[in-house]
Structure 1
Amino acid sequence: MSSRAPRAPSPARSAIRPARCPDGTWETASARAHPRLRPGVIGYRGFRLALPEPRARLEAPIGAVTLMLGFHGSIRITEATGGWVGVGAKGGRSGEHRANGEAARPAGLRTAELSSVLSGMSTTPVLGEHDGHLAGVEVLLTPWAAFSVFGTPLHELSGWKVHPDELGALPSAAVAQLAHELGELPSWRVRFRWLDATLERWLESGPHAARGTVQAWYTLTHSGGAIPVTRIADQVGWSVRHLENRFREQIGLSPKAAARVLRLQRARRLLCAGSTQAETAAACGYYDQAHLSGEFKALTGCTPREFFLARGVRVDPGGPPGTDRLAGEATSLVLRRAPRPGSAHYSKTGGHH
């Protein structure tokens, strides 16, 4: 599926919000997708970094699919289970560090280095790293829209990150070609318009998610993951088993697993807004504060206290703004490697990716 000569959507798109560093070491731009693509395609975030040192970023699971189209540089992605990255604590979980201060990785963790990355819904946090030089565009999609765009069962994405062209549903190198074309265009505005047109065409040509899947997804998201799966199945007129099969194919996780991600996403938002852990646990339907803390560590790799203390640590006053993947959500921490081995801190302000 070539991305050449896409048909342009009709006018009326959102304004682009740019941000640039005076010395030119970074720039970002974000915009909502064209109205005709919403709510399936949520929006775009462009970035170009030329930073003096590497960056590492911890990403918590979210209720969306992310397509990163890279046109300069690559990202190394590693599973971040078990707290080995050392959020909020010197020396990390294992206490072992390399000479450069980087936390030693436990053996057996999956790692991949990719220029473009497709991240489906997952219950596993990941660490993304690059050398400080990176450029591309992130596209944020609802899971059911990603099913239509890529034409492949989304359970193939759950739990890991892949190059989108490896899925095999689109003709060979379609995404790699699109990323190259975006890199050749003169401005973020033109790139976002190109994405609008290309994604519209891919959505039209791909399989459509079942109406019941979309309805069930929004019922689950609007409840913050709190509504019982049996009630959702009743509302859409399906058996629980049929709902589970549809979610696995068109969302990527089972309804219960998706609810875990959405509930913790809501909990992070409430904690970030100033709610106590006890208040948040009660509001989000956890049994108690210990239940919340356990789920938080299982899905994020650290405790609530470690996560939000780390978000208050400033990494680099001159660096790019720490934009979370979802607007209004607390999704990410940026790693700072101190000069002294054994020191690792995270912050939301240290830069993209």
Structure 2
Amino acid sequence: MFGAAFALARPLLHALNPEHAHELTLKALEVGIHPRAPAADDARLAIDLWGLRFCNPFGIAAGFDKDARVADAVLAMGFGYTEIGTVTPHPQAGNPRPRIFRLSRDKAMINRLGFNNAGHAAVHARLARRAEAVGIIGVNVGANRDAPDRASDYVEGLRCFNDVAAYLTINVSSPNTPHLRDLQTPARLDALLQGLLRARQELVAAGQPSRPIVVKLAPDIAEADLPAIVEVVLARRLDGIAVGNTTLSRTKLHDRERAHEAGGLSGRPLFHRSTVLLARVHQLARGAVPLIGIGGIDSPQTAIAKIEAGATLLQLYTGLVYEGPSLLPLMKRELVAYLQRTGCTRIADAVGRRATAWAAKSLDAV
């Protein structure tokens, strides 16, 4: 029913300013206007990771629900988890509007939001109110634009959300905060991770749980830097890597009217590069670090390709903008059919089975 309703509503939503359409979507979710998963997922879709059981590998990427307004609605739709944020210590308005642009011919978006969010205190309060509710919610933390010490902002985020998050993602890869990506350089990333791990040890010593820490990397990382970055993650025994964020690349876009807009590009054009990078990270990490595959997932085929390239979990956002909520049950059905067809008894059996082939491809799509 909701698939047909979305097909009817999509022209109206896409006639709106993208940010207004997004706010309308959030308000609908807040009042319960959304599809609900009809039954429990097939057991073969379950993922056991970090001491958590994900009922399926599909999650909503950070950026959709920045302030934890609709986390339970997202879970009720049948997602295996959701990641809220990016959240910074202090509230900030982000960049001037307009700051989101549709590239409909490419099934892509460009955003330059700039970490607009309500800040730690407000988002923590929302999550604390659902403390007894079920479902896996990760929190994506970032740094304020004007922070004198951005590394401290990430540590503050870990300390703030450790008691309410299932896991934490360290977002050092957004292109919309000036110089933020400098924190991805091996030396600075190593220093940042050491500070985070020390803070986590202190929290555990004080009686709090030890939450998994994931670092989110950009798809624009220079090939020469990738081995050193992965080695830092391995050396610090981080819990996961998310590959990747939006890209600054504008190659091979058809919708040239909006292609010049500043910001990060997401959606279908990101699929190839982010999947090749995912496979290369999988190989460099030797399967020792779980990976979250992000970028251009808008069909069962793209979801399966991410898993075969090395992803244990998946995240999507822009694909939903264009394909609607019926995409999720379709991907679940086709993933079960894929497992049956390939003789895999669980998703873990399929992770990385084509990583070598993907890693050998050029980062730039042909």
TM-score by length of structure 1 reads: 0.31
Determine which structure has the larger helix proportion and give its number.
2
Tell which structure's C-alpha radius of gyration is larger.
Answer: 1
Higher relative contact order (CA 8 A, sep 6+): 1
Determine which structure has the larger strand proportion and give its number.
1
